[in-house]
């Protein structure tokens, strides 16, 4: 009876000892040779650092064009050629990488631990309704990203009014595939390159033309009503230095054109900078379909006139074909000469082809845009 009691006590003590332990020790009794295996969590903290596309040093500050207030990471399980939406995690805690002067930022999200191959997509500054949608959608990557359609009448990226500020949504994709494991948690994801989802349009009157024309207003016609935070995969181009760009516009099938223009008043009569931000747009394939093209109309005063006059300006290439408005690109319209009066109203100018005005257009990827590039066309 005594032996049975001793055995029972020993078993209870042994069971309690191991049931309270969070680690399993493997190896000989010498403490120096113990291998401790921590209990694994179902999630892992993954750190991301990213490089922001360059911003102008003029009216809209670096902080405004590069503002990131929220980040979402979407994971897609890769099986053969199929990439299926698996999970997502988001955070509003975005910090500067020390010593980067705000050009590089970092955040941490917690993703489910997953073996196998996964594609990771980063989307920043999504409107709340799209962030909510991330919990209710499913399917392959193309369908999921195309479901995140954003509607924007105008982009108040530089609005000083409280509550009007709209940080520009951006996109990046981690190159290759990853396993969401301890190795990824240790290394993190570094040096992603974000692309803004909008185009920027600037207008300058060159010094030689300033006696011929005084700029007062810029009208944006035929802008798209909807856009996608992520570009189509076949529109993405990656340079040898790792910088990412796009070669074609990505426009949702359900997007329409706004017939009424947005009107921007210039702070002086020589330029409008960092004010026009618009969704991507495809140029019409037919070079004669000018009524379908996204364009600007310049309003101002010819010579010493006191009556306003208006000129249409299109985005065309050297062969006179319409060009796409591309995300994360800046379009600098530089007026070289104004030869005569234009049209009496902006609508009449829009309904016509350009007359009496000579304009150069510099198309620059936003991350390559520098103050020197801007000054070259002034």
DSSP-H helix ranges across the chain:
2-19, 62-65, 128-133, 141-147, 182-187, 346-350, 371-376
Residue 324 has pLDDT above 90, yes or no: yes
User: What is the model's pLDDT at position 37?
Assistant: 35
Cβ neighbours of 319 (radius 10 Å): 6
The CA distances from residue 199 to 59, 95, 203, 260, in Å, are 16, 26, 14, 19
Compute the average pLDDT of residues 326-347.
97
For residues 74 and 205, membership in a common domain is answered with: no
131 vs 148: CA distance, rounded Å: 9
Tell whether 154 and 229 lie within a shared domain. no
The answer on 209 and 184 residing in a single domain is no
CATH value at residue 296 = 2.60.40
Average pLDDT estimate for 27-37 = 34
The reply to whether 188 and 316 lie within a common domain is no
Residue scoring higher pLDDT (220 or 66): 220
Q: Is 143 within 8 Å of 129 (Cβ atoms)?
A: no
- Over residues 346-355, the pLDDT tens digits come to 999 999 999 9
Distance of CA 114 to CAs 37, 141, 191, 367, Å?
A: 19, 18, 23, 34
Based on the fold, state whether residues 225 and 155 are members of the same structural domain.
no
**Residue 41 clears pLDDT 60, i.e. is over it:** yes
**Same domain (yes/no): 83, 210:** no
Give the model's pLDDT for residue 31.
35
Q: Does the structure show a pLDDT above 80 at 312?
A: yes
User: Residue 117: which pLDDT band, with cuts at 50, 70 and 90?
Assistant: very high
The reply to whether 170 falls in a domain is yes
Q: How many other CB atoms are found less than 10 A from the CB of residue 196?
A: 26
User: Is the Cβ–Cβ distance between 255 and 225 less than 8 Å?
Assistant: yes
Please state, in angstroms and rounded to a whole number, the distance separating the CA atoms of residues 207 and 69.
39
Q: Is residue 15 part of a domain?
A: no
* Structural domain ending residue among the three candidates 179, 196, 213: 196
Same domain, 118 and 219: no
Task: Choose between 20 and 83: higher pLDDT.
Answer: 83
* 291 and 143, same domain (yes or no): no
| Number of folded domains that form the chain | 2
pLDDT at 306 over 60: yes
Spatial CB neighbours of 237, under 8 Å, sequence gap ≥ 6: 244, 245, 246, 247
pLDDT of 178 > 60? The answer is yes
302 and 220 share a domain?
A: yes
Which pLDDT belongs to residue 352? 96
Structural Rg of the chain based on CA atoms: 28
pLDDT band at 332 (very low <50, low <70, confident <90, very high): very high
pLDDT digits over 82-111, tens only? Answer: 999 999 999 999 998 898 877 789 999 999
Domain end among 171, 196, 221: 196
Domain for residue 8, yes or no?
Answer: no
The pLDDT value recorded for residue 238 is: 87
Q: Is the pLDDT of residue 207 over 90?
A: yes
Does a structural domain hold residue 239?
yes
- Domain assignment present for residue 366? The answer is yes
The confidence score (pLDDT) of residue 9 equals 40
Q: What's the pTM value of the predicted model, to 2 decimals?
A: 0.83
- Compute the mean pLDDT over every residue in the chain, rounded to the nearest whole number: 84
On whether residue 104 sits in a domain, the answer given is: yes
pLDDT tier for residue 153 given thresholds of 50, 70 and 90: low
Higher pLDDT, 328 or 37: 328
For 182, the domain range is 43-196
| pLDDT at residue 101, rounded to an integer | 77
Question: Please, what's the b/e burial string for 160-170 (b: 16 or more CB within 10 A of its CB; e: otherwise)?
Answer: eeeeeebbbbb
142 shares its domain with 187: yes
pLDDT (tens digit per residue) in 246-304: 999 999 999 999 989 999 999 999 999 888 999 999 999 999 999 999 999 999 999 99
Average pLDDT over residues 311-319: 95
Q: What is the pLDDT of residue 183?
A: 95
The mean per-residue pLDDT over the stretch 223-235 comes to 95
pLDDT in tens, 161-172: 445 567 899 999
| Residue-level pLDDT at 20 | 37
| Phi-psi category of residue 263: left, alpha or beta, with phi > 0 → left and psi -120 to 50 → alpha | beta
- Out of 174, 196, 218, a domain closes at 196
Domain contains 19: no
Q: Measured in Å, how far apart are the chain's first and last C-alpha atoms? A: 102
Beta strands in 80-181 (DSSP E): 82-91, 95-96, 104-112, 114-124, 150-151, 170-173, 178-180
What's the average model confidence in pLDDT over 303-314? 97
Among 52-56, 118-122, 320-324, 343-347, the minimum mean pLDDT is found in 52-56
Domain assignment present for residue 137? The answer is: yes
User: pLDDT band at 64, cuts 50/70/90?
Assistant: confident
pLDDT of residue 164: 56
Mean pLDDT in residue range 349-378: 73
- Distance of alpha carbon 136 from the chain centroid: 22
Please report the pLDDT score of residue 160 as a whole number: 43
For residue 125, is it left (φ>0), alpha (ψ between -120 and 50) or beta?
left
Quick one: pLDDT at residue 221?
96
In angstroms, the CA 143 to CA 85 distance is 9
How far apart are the C-alpha atoms of 22 and 299, rounded to whole Å?
Answer: 73
208 in the same domain as 343: yes
Same structural domain for residues 274 and 330?
A: yes
Q: What is the mean pLDDT of residues 15-41?
A: 37
């Amino acid at each position: 009876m005594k032996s049975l009691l001793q055995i029972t006590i020993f078993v209870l003590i042994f069971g309690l000892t191991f049931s309270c332990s969070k680690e399993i020790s493997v190896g000989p009794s010498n403490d120096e040779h113990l291998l401790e295996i921590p209990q694994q969590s179902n999630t892992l903290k993954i750190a991301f650092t990213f490089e922001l596309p360059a911003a102008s040093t003029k009216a809209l500050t670096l902080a405004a064009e590069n503002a990131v207030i929220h980040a979402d990471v979407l994971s897609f399980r890769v099986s053969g050629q199929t990439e299926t939406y698996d999970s997502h995690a988001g955070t509003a805690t975005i910090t500067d990488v020390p010593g980067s002067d705000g050009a590089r930022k970092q955040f941490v999200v917690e993703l489910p631990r997953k073996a196998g191959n996964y594609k990771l997509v980063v989307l920043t500054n999504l409107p709340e309704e799209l962030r909510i949608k991330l919990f209710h959608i499913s399917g392959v990557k193309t369908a999921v990203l195309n479901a995140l359609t954003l509607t924007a009448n105008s982009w108040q990226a530089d609005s000083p009014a409280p509550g009007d500020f709209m940080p520009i949504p951006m996109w990046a994709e981690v190159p290759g595939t990853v396993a969401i494991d301890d190795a990824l948690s240790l290394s993190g994801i570094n040096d992603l390159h974000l692309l803004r989802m909008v185009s920027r349009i600037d207008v300058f009157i060159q010094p030689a033309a300033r006696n011929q024309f005084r700029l007062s207003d810029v009208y944006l016609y035929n802008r798209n009503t909807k856009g996608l935070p992520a570009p189509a995969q076949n529109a993405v181009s990656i340079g040898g230095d790792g910088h990412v760009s796009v070669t074609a516009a990505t426009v949702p099938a359900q997007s329409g054109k706004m017939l009424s223009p947005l009107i921007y008043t210039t702070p002086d009569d020589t330029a409008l900078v960092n004010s026009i931000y618009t969704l991507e747009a495809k140029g019409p394939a037919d070079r004669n379909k000018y009524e379908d093209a996204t364009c600007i109309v310049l309003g101002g005063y010819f010579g010493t006139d006191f009556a306003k006059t208006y000129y249409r300006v299109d985005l065309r290439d050297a062969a006179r074909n319409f060009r796409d408005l591309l995300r994360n690109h800046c379009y600098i319209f530089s007026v070289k000469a104004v030869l005569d009066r234009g049209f009496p109203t902006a609508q009449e100018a829009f309904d016509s082809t350009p007359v009496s005005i000579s304009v150069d257009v510099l198309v620059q990827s936003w991350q390559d845009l520098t103050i020197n590039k801007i000054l070259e066309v002034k």
